[in-house]
Structure 1
Amino acid sequence: MTPKSLQQAIDEAGSPMGVVWKPNAKAWEVPVIAPEYVGWRAEQAAWRDTVALSDLSHHMWDLWIEGPDALRLLKDYSANNYENFVIGQAKQFVPVTANGDIITDGILMRDSEERFNLSGVPASQSWVRYQGEKGGYDVEMRVDPDSGLRKQGEPILFRYQIQGPNALPLAEKLFGGPLPKTKFFHSTPVHLDGRTFRAFRHGMAGMPGYEFIGDWADAAYVKAAILKAGEEFGLVHVGGKAYYTNGIESGWIPTPTPGIFTDPALRDYREWLSLFSYEGQKPLHGSFYSNKIEDYYVSPFELGYGKSIAFNHDYLGREALERARNDYRRRRVTLIFDKGDMDRVFGNPEYLNSYGRYRIEVGGKRVGMSFQTGLIGPLDTILSLALVDREYAEPGTPVEFIWGEHPGPGNDPAGDFGFQTLRATVAPSPYNDHARTDYRRG
């Protein structure tokens, strides 16, 4: 039986918000990987103090695009600069709608002249697949879902990320010497006991390190070798709980709402998407509720992707981005909660990670919304990654964070449903000093 389309679900619910608004929605968990290995606090501390190993093989989707039209397809439907895009290089993939709203990002790596790999949240992959199929591009596409949704078999690739102050010494020990000097977001082939894979200069927590990517057949051997080599450097295996908090400090907003729910021109796309797609199942919740899902759409400029956006070729959404480049409303910030208010509202939480959209206010006026809020053990505080109107984005600006769950459709968007107010102070994003200053150098 064919599953219901996203458009059918919207029509039946009466609005997109009737489909995606799910109060108290539980944060997604990493499949296969244990929630904790030595305790999430110690795992968070490892990428700051020693070195952390994150196994990224199971929670991301992969899409391979291959063929004579692969590059043309990517250029037509993303805002990236493809000049001098060399084999082994990666980009923060930035696909947008005609209105300039982000679909979601991803990591795009060039595997060969006509072969590319797009990994991450599947919304951007669905967008490329749809455009490739409907546009008649001469490409072949292959999808590998995450391990929670893959019906059978193992992942095609392993991905092991090491990051932290001891990541580079660990790599030297593992390979018997320093790796070739590699630019940020570039990769180099490496060899380990007859096995060849890539060392990608990239780290999710904004700390120095590498992501090793290779064929799944070599996964167990490579992981065991990393664990063995890391013993003298204090290597800690990171579980799902700690891993999903690492973007808060590095400033990566992981789950923007795809801007595809309302444009009449995208009705066919919504009919192509299943209700059980990422778009149909990724919940919205929190204290900020609007009947208009457009109020949750974001610009790639607001997410901090301005340096990844090019205007040297034509693509869908280019005109909208040209209009927005010098006049986008919100800025990405980190919010630091007042200690007294934090203790009053949360007490002594065992763990906290929420992707809720919580209201950010000044004097009762909404000036922004949060995207991820989590407890950072080494700092003994809760931080929130948010977008706020630019006039309130200066570090040191006091704001109010509204904690609670709006019941959603059929209720007053401005209603008070027992929400609690916490004082917070605006800080830079990335919050991590290294991510903000040195991470992308070299």
Structure 2
Amino acid sequence: MFIVPQGKLKRGIPFAGYNMPVQYEGVNIEHETVRNALGVFDVSHMGEFLIEGPNALDLIQKVSSNDASKLDIGKAQYSCLPNDDGGIVDDLIIYKVKEETYLLVVNASNIEKDWNWISSKNDVGADMRNLSEDYSLLAIQGPKAVEAMQSLTSHDLSEIKFYNFVVGDFAGIEHVIISATGYTGSGGFEIYCKNAEVKQIWDQVLEAGADFGIKPIGLAARDTLRLEMGYCLYGNDIDDTTSPIEAGLSWICKFNKEFTNSEALQAEKERTPERKLVAFKLDERGIPRQGYDIVDTNGNTIGNVTSGTMSPSLGVGIGLGYVPTVFSKPDSKVYIQVRKKAIPATIVKLPFYKG
């Protein structure tokens, strides 16, 4: 079941116990709505863990790659959970809600895995609660988000900086997390609330945004939006077998502290990984898809596409994939094997979409 009303849904699929809203009007229309105006996503499938107590930070520092000690109350941080073998258990966002209280937001397909992993490392007695079944999450994304949503809260939304949040009133509900985060690259907010409150918030968000062109947006458009920014998707671009270093996530690995497998990851960073996750644009018309081979000029397979699409904003085929480091420099030429044709592509710097 959907947690919130889903409008005229074109397509949904079952995923992690939810019937996911994939498309309403179509990917391109929904994509452009978010880039140019305003859209709202139901992403209530995401998982939420509350970590509390005097040793909460100790546990988070041990299991996560970023330095959570730098967080002030009202700030959030992108991080990952490294495993013992050089890969990634999951990527996540860590919120410091108050002193000794942190909210960890994880991917839906990894809720049980992440919970078990963090629990197995909790030898410091931190209090852990899995709130995933009790909370809903709406992502209100687009350049008109501040103006359109201001009437729903007493907080000045323009004052909430990127990766900052407040806990306050929203759409007539108290104690809502209003977070200036999202996975689209077009600005906006993510709203965390209890399940019983989300329908009221959903309805008021659509009402407040009506004059600004708001529409419900499916997860297919969320995927094209995040890919244009070069944001990694767990299960595609990162997983248990990919290291954060080769995935270009060394910036969230802070080696001023010890964390799971930190010594090996630091050594990998210092010696340069054998392969890297790269971004590419097709030089000719075509659509790269996950799993397609990346080949060199001689037709030798050198890697594979992890994410790919026809960019709605740019009108060209774009993608991410792993290749040997020697092929990873910008302007390097590779080929994407699209069925029987090897289409030339150029390695580029991220993001694809510059706004």
Return the TM-score normalized by structure 2: 0.83
Counterpart residue number, 1:114: 100
**Letter in structure 2 aligned against 1:181:** E
User: Corresponding residue for 1:51?
Assistant: 38
Partner of 1:245: helix, strand, or coil? helix
Query: Once the two structures are superposed, what CA deviation does each residue of 1:138-162 show, in whole Å capped at 9, x if it has no partner?
Result: 13433355xxxxxxxxx42222212
**1:210 positional shift:** 1.2
Q: Which residue of 1 aligns with 2:163?
A: 185
Are 2:188 and 1:200 equivalent residues in the alignment?
no
CA deviation after TM superposition for structure 1 residue 238, in Å? 0.2
Residue of structure 2 equivalent to 1:305: 249
Q: 2:128 aligns with which of 125, 132, 141?
A: 141
Q: How far apart, CA to CA, are the structure 1 residues paired with 2:268 and 2:14?
A: 32
1:168 corresponds to: 146
Match of 2:302 among 364, 367, 391: 367
Query: Root-mean-square deviation (CA), in Å?
Result: 2.8
Separation (CA, whole Å) in 1 of partners of 2:127 and 2:69: 23
Which position in structure 2 is the counterpart of 1:213? Answer: 192
8 Å CA contact 1:362, 1:399 repeated in 2: yes
Q: Tell me: CA distance 1:302–1:368, structure 2 relative to 1, closer, same or farther (3 Å).
A: same
1:63 equivalent in alignment to 2:63: no
Mean CA deviation greater in 231-240 or 88-97 = 88-97
Equivalent residue letter for 2:351: P
**Higher normalized strand content (fraction of residues):** 2
- 1:247-303 Cα deviation digits (max 9, x unpaired): 2111122124543xxxxxxxxxxxxxxxxxxxxxxxxxxxxxxxxxxxxx2221232
SS in 2 for 1:47: helix
Structure 1 residue aligned with 2:9: none
The 5 A counterparts of 1:288-299 are: 297-299=241-243
Moved more, 364-373 or 199-208: 364-373
- In structure 1, give the amino acid aligned to 2:93: I
The answer (yes or no) to whether the contact 1:329–1:389 under 8 Å persists in 2 is yes
Contact 1:47 1:163 in 2 (8 A): yes
Counterparts of 2:338 and 2:74 in 1: how far apart (Å)? Answer: 43
Alpha-carbon distance between aligned partners in 1 of 2:146 and 2:189, rounded to the nearest angstrom: 8
Letter in 2 for 1:208: G
The aligned residue for residue 17 of structure 1 is: none
Query: Across the two proteins, how many residue pairs are aligned to each other?
Result: 336
Which structure: larger Rg? Answer: 1
Please give the alpha-carbon distance, in whole angstroms, between the structure 1 residues aligned to 2:70 and 2:225: 31
Q: Structure 1: any 5+ residue segments left out of the alignment?
A: 1-26, 146-154, 260-296, 347-351, 405-418, 435-442
Matched to 2:244, the amino acid is: P
2:7 maps to what in 1? none
Q: Residue 156 of structure 1 aligns with which residue?
A: 134
CA distance, structure 2, for counterparts of residue 158 and residue 398 of structure 1: 44
Whether the 8 Å contact between 1:132 and 1:139 is mirrored in structure 2 is: no
Partner residue, 1:432 = 353
Retained in 2: the 8 A contact 1:104–1:124? no
Match of 2:328 among 376, 387, 393: 393
Once the two structures are superposed, the pairs formed by residues 18-417 of structure 1 within 5 Å of their partners are: 31-57=18-44, 59-121=45-107, 122-123=109-110, 126-127=113-114, 129-133=116-120, 136-143=123-130, 155-175=133-153, 178-179=156-157, 181-192=159-170, 193-254=172-233, 255=235, 256=237, 258-259=239-240, 297-326=241-270, 327-340=272-285, 342=286, 356-363=290-297, 364-403=299-338
RCO comparison, higher one (Cα < 8 Å, 6+): 1
Deviates more, 1:37-46 or 1:63-72: 63-72
Identity of aligned residues (%): 23
What is the CA–CA distance in structure 2 between the aligned matches of 1:117 and 1:176, rounded to whole Å? 23
Question: Per-residue deviation at 1:135?
Answer: 5.0
Query: What SS class does the counterpart of residue 69 from structure 2 fall into?
Result: coil
| Deviation at residue 29 of structure 1 after TM alignment | 5.4
| Deviation readout 1:15-59 (Å, 9 max, x if unpaired) | xxxxxxxxxxxx9758334332222211011121111211211x3
Q: Secondary structure of 1:218's partner? A: helix
CA distance 1:56–1:105, shift in 2 (3 Å): same
1:99, CA displacement in angstroms? 4.1
Work out whether residues 313 and 353 of structure 2, in 8 Å CA contact, stay in contact via their aligned partners in 1.
no
Q: Distance in 1 between matches of 2:263 and 2:307?
A: 30
Q: Post-superposition shift, 1:177?
A: 7.3
Mapped partners of 1:28, 1:247: distance in 2: 21
User: How has the CA–CA distance of structure 1 residues 378 and 84 changed in structure 2, closer, same or farther, with 3 Å as cutoff?
Assistant: closer
Change in CA separation of 1:403 and 1:385 when aligned onto 2, cut-off 3 Å: same
CA distance in 2, matches of 1:158, 1:101: 29
- 187-196 vs 71-80, which moves further: 187-196
Which range moved further: 159-168 or 44-53?
Answer: 159-168
Q: SS of 1:223's equivalent? A: helix
The one-letter amino acid of 2:119's match is G
Distance in 2 (CA, whole Å) between partners of 1:315 and 1:80 is: 9
TM-aligned CA distance change 1:127 to 1:325, over 3 Å: same
